[in-house]
Amino acid sequence: MHLGIDVGSTTIKVVLLDEDKKILYSDYQRHLSLIKEKSAEMLEKVKPFTKDEKVTISISGSAGMGVATECNINFVQEVYATRVAAKEYEPDTDTIIELGGEDAKILFLTNGLEVRMNGTCAGGTGAFIDQMATLLGIGRDEVDYYSKKSKQIYTIASRCGVFAKSDIQPLINQGAKVEDIASSILLAVVNQTIAGLAQGRKIKGKVLYLGGPLTFLSRLRYFFDQELKLTGICPENSLYYVALGAALSPSATQLSISECISLIQSYSGKGNFNQLSPLFNSDADYKSFVERHNKATVEAMNPKSYVGDAYLGIDSGSTTIKMCLISIDGKLLLTRYSSNNGDPVQAVTSFLKTLYTEFPYIHIRAAASTGYGEDLLKTAFKLDYSLVETQAHFLGAKFFRPDVDFIIDIGGQDIKCFKIRDGAIDDIFLNEACSSGCGSFLQTFAQAMGKSVSEFAGLAIKSHSPVELGSRCTVFMNSSVKQAQKDGSPIEDISAGLAISVVKNAIYKVIRAPGADALGKNIVCQGGTFLNDAVLRAFELEMGRDVIRPNIAGLMGAFGAALYAQKRAIKEDLKSSSILTEEELDEFSHKVTNINCNGCTNHCLLTVNSFRERKMISGNRCERPTLKKDSKALEELNLYKYKQELLYSYLDRESKNKDAKSIGLPLALGMYELLPFYYTLFDELGFNVVVSGKSSRSVYVKGQGSIPSDTVCFPAKLMHGHIELLKEKNVDMIFIPCSSYNVDEEKGNNHYNCPVVAYYGEVIKANQELGNTKLLIPYLSVDNKKHFIKRISETFGLNKGAVKKATEKAFSALEDYHKKVCTKAEELITKARNEHRRIIVLAGRPYHVDEETNHGIDRLLTGLGCCVITEDSISNRVPKDNVNVLNQWTYHARLYDAARYVATQDDMDLVQFVSFGCGLDAVTTDEVREILRKQDKIYTQIKIDEITNVGAVKIRIRSLLAALEDRK
């Protein structure tokens, strides 16, 4: 007989085969990190079949190698095992998609074996689905049940489990149906697998679905079928393919089941982790630490003995609600920190009713809200003020340390860090690509070990040898913790190791600090996570300096909002708050409805919160649904909108050569700069010119299966969708020029294109199936007219004279486009100055004009009352000058000149788009920041990819605008 054991990240599978390779016995169970115990239990059930005689035994699986090596049992690599089983039981398989607890794989079996696996992130795996089910309050098996009833799909990030929570929690708060969210989660897993793993190779032929999630979730298989446009097969015993492959191994070890159990029970697994120095060397060391931090305390007083004015601050987070009521001299009267249970309105209602009933002699003079639910609560309860959460945290920090120059706030799902310069927020860091190391990260592990967060933190203090766990993806870290448990590490060492991981993630992944001096000298730590003494101590040890942690670290947003309410009320001589009275609260009602916005083609699903005579709209990707009719003029103060109108006009043009051969121009990457040029060129040359269309999420999904790299920038990923659009339009040929050089604007040392923009045609050629459509990727550059005319003539077999004439008209059209942009910019600047508005130069590359790429950040800015212009509309306003770097990229040269111009204008500031995956921005960022700081200007970057959190971007922009007001 032949025994195969598959020890995975979360489960153990055992299969026993007879000599004819038929299954005699199989079992599948979660091991809960108790690998030795669970293996012994499962193998005991095999004994009756073998009568404890020798059988061939092999071990496989992501957690099986250590066991096999130490126990001297044959190990079979799991990919190889899967392939062996597939060849035996489904020999004509072309592709295998396997999703496990924490890993995901695609195996291409045609023309040799090619394997794609997740490496740095465990988003889109079984553990991810488990986490999301927990968030929805349903069992993991119920995800499939609810998904079958869905009617609506939402966009959810699957790259990171905690970022997915950031997408899902607002949907829950807004009343989205569980069944719709369940389907959205499963589709997110499908998109993550195809885009993240297939990486350009088409999934086709006979496809096998393996692994727990694909076996148990029929709707997950359905969504894979829909996206891949095929019907995959979930074979019998799909859970056991790795174990089957191990059992079929020809080099298996011969043992009896009793001998195998004995060997596995002797497995120690020692020495897999490094040990770190303890957080505290002695009890006296810890006592001194506590005494020092107890000094940062805000005084509290008994609210029952207080009579008079008070100020209320409310911080509505994504999952929690925090409230602070302070006296006229800044003492704490009442506080509240609790889960919002998906309904922050009800939480505040309960608090206010308690306040009015039990403390009738306290008079609320002013109230302010902040946080994710800032606008919702201000509208619901008629609060007097609201402020962006970064300002609230800054005000709270200044109460404890007036000279604070750096604030770090680690919350449940996000990390925020602020640099302070000249009494105002100067720079902001947010966790943008990964959320490992937040409060929910520690909470997850505490719950898994049956401890409360406070108990778990207390254990870390007692640790003598913290386990070095690094700073990794939350789901992968789970595997590290399990391994540490298996190696015999005590829970206190694991707790301390996790606290150190949180700190390292914040410092080296979010802040990316080269050292302590880069942060500041007067540091204030905030957020509920820093109430964990182990995290706070780890931060001090890593930075090599003492910091301040207020005793209300978890309430600093609410406390800062209360201080703000006090400051504004005194300044404006406000005598009494407009907050709902006790009588109004008794009649208060809250109704939630969902509608689709028809303001543009996005058709955002809006959530309308109605409070008797007041309404508040959320779910919008831009400010259009919330603007009053007389405020729609704000939308016109947007040069991005004007550029979009100019470029999109080419989509609606009817070619004068309708019956001629059609040539497709994909509106992506370099074509966003040169569309007027190439459209005019080919129109004059007699082609029927077809432009792909506007970008959207659906366009991205169309092309995701052919994207060869998960780390290439989002604008490049979108190119694949535009190629699919052109294929659907049945064009004869698609034109993507490979251009090393851009138009020479004589701004720098050279005028290169970004390498991705310059040669992406080669990527399309190698990775995307075009059928009968011809792909043209000639090497040419528009900086050299003579060479350009020659190459176009050779590529299309056209007369040079005709090409020369068409080229001249093309350059004229491009020049006309740029003139229109500059003229419009002048018009907008004049209008903005007449209306005393801030002017934001929203800089980037030409493709950042794309609506799907920029996520509507331009409209967000105009909705906040700003005028938005582009870097290319003002970069010609300064004389040629050298910068302190090798200035050889066309678009960076524009950015330098735009920064130089902004530095001379009192009412302008600069915000820069940066695409994830672009490696050309580091030097540019430093130099642009230096140009602007010399003139006391504020500069920030907005990082853009397919999962950009627009809510976080809005926080950053509002913080900068508030900082500008502070500096005034």
SS (H, E, C) 595-643: EECCCCCCCCEEEEEEECCEEEEECCCCCHHHCCHHHHHHHHCEHHHHH
Cα–Cα distance, 258 to 862 (Å, whole number): 73
Least-confidence region, from 168-177, 189-198, 370-379, 550-559: 168-177
Tell me the average pLDDT of the chain. 85
Q: Which of helix, strand or coil describes residue 338?
A: strand
Give dist(CA 617, CA 627) in Å, integer.
10
Long-range contacts of 508-511 (CB under 8 A, 24+ apart): 508/471, 509/431, 509/434, 509/436, 509/437, 509/471, 510/415, 510/417, 510/429, 510/430, 510/431, 510/437, 511/408, 511/417, 511/429
* Residue 917 φ/ψ, nearest 5 degrees: 95, -10
pLDDT digits (tens, 9 = 90+) for 25-65: 999 998 766 778 888 899 999 999 998 899 999 999 877 88
Residue 902 above 90 pLDDT?
Answer: yes
Q: Which residues fall within 8 angstroms of residue 38, CB to CB, at 6 or more apart? A: 12, 29, 31, 32
- Taking the chain, what is the end-to-end CA distance rounded to the nearest angstrom? 82
Confidence of residue 235 (pLDDT cuts 50, 70, 90): very high
Residue 921, pLDDT score: 65
Domain ranges of the chain: 1-90+235-267, 95-233, 303-401+558-586, 407-547, 590-620, 640-815, 819-967
What's 534-569 look like in SS3?
A: HHHHHHHHHHCCCCECCCCHHHHHHHHHHHHHHHHH
Write out pLDDT tens, residues 908-927: 999 988 877 666 665 577 78
Do the strands 362-371 and 308-316 form a parallel or antiparallel pair, or are they unpaired? parallel
Decide: helix, strand or coil at residue 288. helix
Domains 303-401+558-586 and 819-967 share a fold: no
DSSP β-ladder status, 11-17 and 74-75: unpaired
CATH architecture, range 819-967: 3-Layer(aba) Sandwich (3.40)
711-726 pLDDT tens trace: 788 999 999 999 999 9
Looking at the chain, the number of H-run helices and the number of E-run strands are: 35, 30
Distance separating alpha carbons of residues 665 and 650, to the nearest angstrom: 11
Maximum distance among all alpha carbons in the chain? 94
Mean pLDDT, rounded, for 575-590? 90
Q: Which residues of 203-221 are buried (b: 16+ CB within 10 A; e: fewer)?
A: beebbbbbbbbbbbbebbb
Q: Using the 8-state DSSP alphabet, how is residue 4 labeled?
A: E
Domain 1-90+235-267, CATH class in plain words: alpha beta
CATH superfamily membership of 95-233: ATPase, nucleotide binding domain (3.30.420.40)
The CA distance from 673 to 691, in Å, is 14
pLDDT score at 681: 96
> Helix-strand-coil percent breakdown of the chain, rounded to 5?
45, 20, 35
Whole-angstrom Cα distance, residue 675 to residue 693?
Answer: 12
pLDDT tens digit sequence for 325-362: 999 999 999 999 887 776 788 889 999 999 999 999 99
pLDDT of res. 266: 82
Quote the crossing angle between the two packed helices 533-543 and 283-293, to the nearest 10°: 90
Binned at pLDDT 50, 70 and 90, residue 630 comes out as very low
Identify whether the C-beta of residue 159 lies closer than 8 Å to the C-beta of residue 233: no
Which residue in 319, 551, 518, 522 sits closest to 429, CA to CA?
A: 518
CATH topology assigned to domain 407-547 = Nucleotidyltransferase; domain 5 (3.30.420)
Tell me: pLDDT of 662 over 60: yes
Q: Cα 510 from chain centroid? A: 13
If DSSP codes are grouped into helix, strand and coil, which group holds residue 652? helix
Contact criterion met (CB below 8 Å) for 105 and 96 = yes
Q: Quick one: which of 878, 850, 905 has its CA closest to 745?
A: 878
**Residue 790's pLDDT is what?**
94
**May I ask the CATH architecture of the domain 303-401+558-586?**
2-Layer Sandwich (3.30)
pLDDT band at 516 (very low <50, low <70, confident <90, very high): low
What mean pLDDT do residues 783-809 have? 94
Amino acid identity, position 218: S
Q: Can you give the pLDDT at residue 639?
A: 96
Contacts 24+ apart (CB under 8 A), 751-756: 751/783, 751/888, 751/889, 751/890, 751/893, 752/888, 752/889, 752/890, 753/670, 753/889, 753/890, 754/845, 754/889, 754/891, 754/918, 754/920, 756/669, 756/712, 756/713, 756/716, 756/918
